[in-house]
């Protein structure tokens, strides 16, 4: 699957080393898949299914999020001096643009009213890329579980769920690439600049955690309808599957995260923070919650 010689074991694969960077770029190119959102044969839906799809509260938010992420990631290729990694980030930008195109195609086909925002221009490129990347680490983790619940619930036809499988797999690759890139980026800095970089990442993660806590509180509080929010994956389970407890949702997310990550080269670092938090919550929360 990769052009990196098999005699590199994980012990010798130091993040930021030429071998690590080569493997990181290569894994990303090797696992890229072709599809064209404008050529998808959308399945026909019954009136009931169409109503359910149109009523999902997150279409507008999904379009806005993809607009910010796709434009940020595309621009972020300029951050990287390594030509292969830069090309890999540009490819990720293409994939994010394709998510936006897929949403545009779906909402046009099923006549879901959406306003398309003006293209987002990043202001502080590295901070914006880090913010988008850490945000994806949270959103994707929950999306993996929600997607499995949607698939199992039969709320939507299997043919429609299948259209989104490549998107899920791309998000796995994106967060895998991102956590390795962040570590490589830090390790390439002179030692005295690393603590500031770490602190900046921690601050950005905290901002993302704060926004998720806000959503989690609104889930259990005044807004049970799950109004659109910037982290819609946390509220989406109410709309796509049979009722599930938070404990059950965490279990599903953890299992799906492990299953999807297991497909990729073991020498690459795995996202640890979000699954780690989820594992602790899964252990301490009562099953009834």
Point out which residues bind Fe ion (CB under 5 A). Answer: 96, 99, 136, 171, 174
Cβ distance to Fe ion smaller for residue 204 or 246? 204
Cβ distance to Fe ion smaller for residue 136 or 256? 136
Cβ distance to Fe ion smaller for residue 174 or 252? 174
Cβ distance to Fe ion smaller for residue 21 or 99? 99
Q: Which residue's CB comes closest to Fe ion? A: 174
Closest contact distance (angstroms) between CB of 149 and Fe ion is: 19
Closest contact distance (angstroms) between CB of 133 and Fe ion is: 9
Closest contact distance (angstroms) between CB of 114 and Fe ion is: 16
Closest contact distance (angstroms) between CB of 66 and Fe ion is: 5
Closest contact distance (angstroms) between CB of 69 and Fe ion is: 6
Cβ distance to Fe ion smaller for residue 91 or 148? 91
Q: Please state the length of the chain.
A: 289
């Amino acid at each position: 699957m990769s052009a990196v010689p098999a005699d590199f074991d994980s012990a010798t694969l130091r993040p930021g080393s030429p071998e690590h960077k080569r493997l990181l770029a290569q894994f990303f190119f090797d696992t890229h898949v072709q599809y064209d959102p404008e050529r998808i044969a959308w399945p026909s839906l019954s009136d009931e299914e169409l109503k359910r799809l149109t009523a999902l509260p997150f279409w507008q938010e999904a379009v806005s999020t993809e607009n910010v992420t796709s434009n940020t990631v595309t621009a972020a290729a300029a951050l990287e001096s390594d030509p292969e990694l830069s090309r890999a980030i540009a490819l990720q930008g293409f994939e994010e643009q394709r998510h936006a195109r897929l949403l545009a195609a779906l909402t046009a086909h099923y006549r879901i009213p959406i306003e398309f925002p003006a293209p987002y221009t990043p202001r502080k490129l590295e901070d914006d890329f880090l913010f988008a990347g850490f945000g994806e680490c949270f959103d994707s983790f929950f999306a993996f579980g929600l997607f499995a619940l949607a698939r199992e619930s039969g709320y939507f036809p299997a043919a429609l769920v299948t259209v989104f499988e490549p998107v899920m797999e791309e998000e796995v690759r994106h967060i895998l690439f991102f956590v390795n890139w962040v570590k490589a980026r830090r390790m390439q800095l002179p030692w005295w600049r690393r603590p500031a970089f770490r602190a900046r990442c921690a601050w950005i993660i905290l901002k993302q955690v704060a926004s998720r806590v806000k959503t989690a509180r609104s889930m259990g509080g005044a807004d049970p309808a799950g109004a659109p929010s910037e982290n819609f994956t946390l509220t989406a389970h109410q709309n796509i599957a049979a009722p599930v407890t938070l404990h059950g949702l965490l279990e599903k997310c953890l299992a799906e995260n492990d299953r999807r990550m297991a497909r990729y080269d073991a020498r690459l670092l795995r996202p640890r923070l979000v699954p780690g938090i989820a594992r602790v919550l899964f252990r301490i929360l009562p099953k009834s919650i």
